[in-house]
Structure 1
Amino acid sequence: MRIASDFKPGIFSHLLACIAIAGAALSPGLVHASDRSDPLLEEALARDLGITPARYAEYLRLERSAEQRSAAAKRSLGSSYAGDWIEHRRDGSFRHVIGTSSPDAQIAESPGVELRRFHHSLEQLQSTFDALEAVARKRANGADGSLDGVNAWYVNPRLNMVVVSFAVGSEKTAQDFIHAGGADTDIAQFATFPGIPQTIVPIRDSASIASAKRGQAPIGAIVCRARAQRGYDCGTITAKNVSVRYGGRGIVAGLSQSDACADSADSGGAWTTSDGKRQGVTFGGQFDAGVTGNCSRPRHQRTTWFGRIDSVP
């Protein structure tokens, strides 16, 4: 596979300048009054993500400047851009990671920002995803093979791979799916899917909920949803633009994936960033057979999907 190599000398200095400007937002300063979350949200952030109020203020400064840095990186890195995301580090701090497929890129130290090298550019990953999407649509219409056991597929920039998740016992079908899309194992990865994709959003009841058109959060951002009774469940965005195959509803594309939990009682519930930007509504999740939710699972084993109402087929 040919790797993008059109990185131009001097272009990275522009990226550094953009990062330095945006990075100023990470310097210590006063927290906006709107950053003082209510006690129930603080409780959820501590319980679900281990985030203290002080760390949350640090996170907000990083997240609010991430969109500007991301746009600058896309312009400067061009075809070598390999995606970006917010990374939660083991010491409790946060970092905005910007990926590149250029082996020559260098980056000066900048608070809260890291340039990370990968083998594939985002364009290459997206091209593989698009090929798999075309195969899936064709097979969903009953042509040229089966999708039985193949449950979801998406670009994962953190792994620098396209991930195809499948049900236990369906590895051969998943391999055939990837082969039909022209991908190989250096760019596509299997992931066993130990549950059943279930749609839990009541489409008719949710028709009046406004679509989220602005302020879409990046991978790694904190998202929360109000519980059916009281309080919040919070997690992070683990993937975006996910295509999910629901048995009775076909393929739903363009969903966001999170490790926050959901239950059938949360059908159609709104998802927002922790500071209130609307992200969409609950569509479904990976649930064990006979179970109506995934809240009993550890966070790293949860898969829940949300998206705009206009994503529903």
Structure 2
Amino acid sequence: MQSTGFSSRRSGAHVCALSLLCMVAFDAAAATDLQVSPTLHQAAQHDLGLSSAQVDQLLQVQRDAPAQEALARRRLGAHFGGAWVERASDGRYRFVVGSSDPRGPLKLDGVQLRQVRYSLSELEAAKARLDRSVRARVSGISRPIDGVHSWYVDPGSNSVLVSVAPDAMERAIDLAAVSGADSGLLRFQQTPGVPQPTSSVYAGRSYEKNGALSCSVGFAVMQGATKGFVTAGHCGTAGETIGLDGAPAGYFAASEFPGTDRAWVALNANHELFPLITNYAGGFFAVRGSVEAGYSAVVCRSGWKTGYQCGLITAQNVTVNSTRGVVFGLTQSNACAGFGDSGGGWIDVHEQAQGVLSLASIAPGAQNNCGTGIFQVSWFQPVNPILQQYGLTLVTP
């Protein structure tokens, strides 16, 4: 990567399976000890339109959430209906737990318990049916699912939320029927954008393919003595070469897309790696680890096309039907993105690496989805599975 005169030390990143249970088991204690970057705090205020006090209150709710959720899971058992953070009418954030227990909700300090119809396990089973149905599709034989954009468990609405183009409702209903998922657990929501790859060393900078700007760098990594960086799988195929600043720099050592959207690029030995992510305003943030953030966490992404943008995690383990294939296990956010930002890094306010940009819902003919309000949706591939799969170590200070 491009040298700036700094030195770096490498340390191992914790690798954890993508499950909420894992997050509670390992990350609950770790997350409470993480420091909030003041500059990231300010960026979150700006992009989310919140005051400093509101960001502080949101972060406090998020810090308390893992322990509260673990207790709720134990108390409710099979009736646990999921947990989420929501904003009340007075502007404050609160932690909510759903309960499908017909005897009524229990009392838990600091938690708003809400009666729901379906348990989280029932919702997850319905989503799994949709996923299995899509994986079993046969090209040229199975009915098309174009326009059925994405689906994920949404505890707040106590449903599996299916995002559908306005003209594709019949296909969405057909997919649900073929899957065998209980229609009562599904909720269809019309969205106008189209999920598509945003293709066109410090995290967020550009790299080139065939002499032209392509995707964005994720995070600096090492595989043994080999230097490199993680990025999105749709950005290139294994063996394909890349350049930095107009000069040959390395090649895609491994790449997977669709299904997942994972890749890493091996760099020539003369490139220096930095545990940094650019804010495209003349500054950098450190990348200190990869503790996975939870639902509603403040996250920010960096890419060469639309710069540095912040938002909230709005869903996890999302299945997205993009223009180039179905991708499973993505994390959803309302931070905006555009073509060329793909592969760029996402971090949270604790300077923990979260993932690399995979897809964004962009209207036909547009270059990004910034400023589109409730339709401003993007997805990232979580970083820990990439590190685990390819035996990579995140570069940290």
Q: TM-score, with normalisation over the residues of structure 2?
A: 0.63
* Matched residue, 1:305: 379
Residue 279 of structure 1 corresponds to 354
Which deviates the most, 90-99 or 113-122? 90-99
- Give, in angstroms, the shift of residue 178 of structure 1: 0.9
- Residue 80 of structure 1 corresponds to 79
Structure having greater relative contact order (Cα 8 Å, sep ≥ 6):
2
Query: Is 2:288 the counterpart of 1:290?
Result: no
Provide the rounded CA distance (Å) in 2 between the counterparts of 1:231 and 1:196. Answer: 21
Any idea what the Cα deviations from partners look like across 1:165-208, whole Å, max 9, x if unmatched?
A: 22221111111111112234421111112111111254347514
Give the direction of change, closer, same or farther, for the CA distance of 1:36–1:145 in structure 2 (3 Å limit): closer
Which moves more between the two structures, 274-283 or 142-151?
A: 142-151
Equivalenced residues, count: 278
User: 1:22-41 counterparts in 2 under 5 A?
Assistant: 34-35=35-36, 37-38=38-39, 41=40
SS in 1 for 2:331: strand
Q: How does 1:89-108 map to 2 (within 5 A)?
A: 89-108=88-107
Once residues 48 and 362 of structure 2 are traced to their aligned partners in structure 1, the CA distance between those partners, rounded to angstroms, is 21
> What's the CA shift for 1:143?
4.4
Q: Which runs of 5+ in 2 are unaligned?
A: 1-27, 200-214, 216-232, 237-251, 253-262, 267-274, 276-287, 390-397
Shift of 1:45: 2.2
Q: Is this contact kept in 1: 2:194–2:323, CA < 8 A? A: no
User: What's the counterpart of residue 317 of structure 2?
Assistant: 241
Alignment of 1:229-268 (within 5 A): 232-248=308-324, 250-268=325-343
Return the alpha-carbon distance in structure 2 between the equivalents of residues 306 and 180 of structure 1: 28
What per-residue deviation string (whole Å, max 9, x for no partner) do you get for residues 119-138 of structure 1? 00011101111111111112
Equivalent residue number for residue 53 of structure 1:
52
- 1:225 alignment partner AA: R
- Counterpart CA distance in 2 for 1:144 and 1:49 is 42
For 1:130 and 1:173, how far apart are their aligned partners in 2? Answer: 18
Q: Distance in 2 between matches of 1:233 and 1:134?
A: 34
Return the match for 1:152 from 150, 153, 156: 150
Q: Note if contact 2:305-2:341 (Cα within 8 Å) is conserved in structure 1.
A: no
CA contact (8 A) 2:322 2:359 kept: no
CA contact (8 A) 2:80 2:120 kept: yes
Q: Secondary structure at the match of 1:225?
A: strand
Would the alpha carbon gap of residues 227 and 43 (structure 1) be closer, same or farther in structure 2, given more than 3 Å must change? farther
**Contact kept in structure 2, 1:161 and 1:189, CA below 8 Å:** yes
Gaps of at least 5 residues in structure 1 are 1-21, 27-31
Equivalent pair of 2:305/2:339 in contact (CA under 8 Å): no
Q: Structure 1: how far apart are the matches of 2:35 and 2:342?
A: 28
* Correspondence for 1:116: 114
3-state DSSP of counterpart to 1:139: coil
Secondary structure of 2:301's counterpart equals: strand
- The SS at the match of 1:158 is helix
CA distance in 2, matches of 1:56, 1:275: 13
User: What is the CA–CA distance in structure 2 between the aligned matches of 1:266 and 1:106, rounded to whole Å?
Assistant: 44
Q: CA deviation at 1:270?
A: 1.0
Cα distance change on mapping 1:56 and 1:290 into 2, 3 Å: same
- 1: CA distance, partners of 2:339 / 2:191: 20
1:68: how far off?
2.0
User: Could you say if the C-alpha distance between residues 165 and 117 of structure 1 is closer, same or farther in structure 2, counting changes exceeding 3 Å?
Assistant: same
| Corresponding residue for residue 63 of structure 1 | 62
SS in 2 for 1:124: helix
Deviates more, 1:140-149 or 1:67-76: 140-149
Distance 1:108 1:127, change over 3 A: closer
Alpha-carbon distance between aligned partners in 2 of 1:68 and 1:97, rounded to the nearest angstrom: 13
TM-score (norm 1): 0.79
Query: Which amino acid in the other structure matches residue 303 of structure 1?
Result: V
Name the structure where strand makes up a greater proportion of residues.
2
Deviations 1:57-110 (A, max 9, x none): 222222122222222222221111111112123323111111111132444473
| Counterpart among 190, 193, 196 of residue 191 in structure 2 | 193
Alpha-carbon RMSD across the aligned residues, in angstroms, is 3.0
1:85–1:98 Cα contact (<8 Å) kept: yes
Distance 1:138-1:265 versus aligned 2 partners, 3 A rule: same
Say whether the 8 Å CA contact 1:44–1:231 is kept in structure 2. Answer: no
* Bigger shift: residues 226-235 or 145-154: 226-235
